[in-house]
């Protein structure tokens, strides 16, 4: 079992009070004790552990899969202070810590409820999530972004199409939609597509295999990456 990268010593991406930090660190220690063996490296485990912490579900130890470059790609994007978060739904944007994002100069974008997105979805008989991804691409927001998809499998399927056919190049895709229709299939397609793509053209990804997922898991994964980014900055 890998020893996770420790965030103790972080100031921006930790809880604001000593009591809050103690509770969170105790929770992480409990997860480390009870999770059992795993195959993740230290950076990957820091992400998985925070996802378990978000909903007390140890199934994510095993269901979570990573492209080999995923964690460092996310950390590098954050540390560049030129990246952004593009989400499929507003819940992800609301759930993220604004001070933590601001420290790295990051903003959030989601278009699921925009009037033009809704109108086009009706006109083309597609979902709002599909049109929201297309709008993000038209505005040049996908390239270099961390794209978090926790709700809509159709958003992930459209993002894969944009990568394959229109040259979109996110820094990292967190493909974690929850559901019973196309959720599992969309995540498997992302992993299989990337496995078959030449390394130089690959977009790193992290997924939750199967039906489980959700916006809270995307938020947890991004918060873990923010913590890792701050830790790497402290270490020089």
Q: What is the per-residue pLDDT across 5-49, written as a single tens digit (0 to 9) for each? A: 445 578 787 777 788 788 888 888 999 999 989 999 999 999 999
Mean of pLDDT values over 199-219? 93
| Least confidently predicted of 14-18, 59-63, 134-138, 168-172 | 14-18
pLDDT at 25: 86
What is the CATH architecture of 61-235? 3-Layer(aba) Sandwich (3.40)
Q: What is the token pair recorded at 47?
A: 């992400």
pLDDT at 202: 86
- 70, with CB counted inside 10 A (0-12, 13-18, 19+), is buried
Mean of pLDDT values over 175-196? 92
- Residue 152 scores a pLDDT above 60: yes
In the block, residue with structure tokens 């709008």: 135
pTM: 0.93
pLDDT at 191: 93
Out of 53, 67, 137, 223, the active site residue is: 53
Edge-first strand listing for the sheet containing 64-66? 64-66, 205-208, 172-175, 146-149, 85-87, 108-109
* 67 a catalytic residue: no
pLDDT at 14: 79
Summary mean pLDDT of the chain: 92
Sequence ranges of the domains in the chain: 61-235
């Amino acid at each position: 079992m890998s020893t996770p990268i420790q965030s103790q010593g972080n100031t921006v991406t930790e809880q604001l009070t000593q009591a809050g930090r103690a509770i969170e660190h105790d929770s992480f220690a409990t997860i480390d004790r009870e999770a059992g063996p795993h195959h993740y490296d230290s950076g990957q485990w820091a992400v998985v552990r925070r996802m378990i912490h978000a909903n007390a579900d140890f199934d994510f130890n095993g269901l979570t899969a990573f492209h080999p470059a995923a964690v460092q790609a996310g950390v590098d994007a954050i540390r560049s202070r030129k990246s952004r978060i593009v989400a499929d739904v507003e819940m992800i944007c609301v759930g993220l810590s604004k001070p933590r994002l601001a420290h790295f100069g990051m903003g959030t974008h989601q278009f699921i409820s925009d009037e033009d997105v809704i109108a086009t979805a009706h006109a083309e008989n597609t979902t709002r999530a599909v049109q929201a991804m297309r709008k993000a691409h038209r505005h040049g927001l996908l390239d270099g972004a961390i794209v978090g998809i926790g709700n809509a499998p159709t958003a992930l399927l459209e993002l894969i199409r944009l990568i394959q056919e229109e040259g979109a190049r996110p820094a990292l895709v967190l493909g974690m939609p929850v559901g019973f229709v196309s959720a599992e299939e969309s995540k498997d397609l992302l992993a299989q597509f990337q496995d078959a793509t030449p390394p130089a053209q690959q977009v790193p990804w992290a997924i939750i295999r199967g039906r489980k997922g959700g916006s809270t898991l995307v938020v947890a994964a991004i918060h873990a990456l923010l913590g890792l980014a701050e830790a790497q900055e402290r270490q020089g």
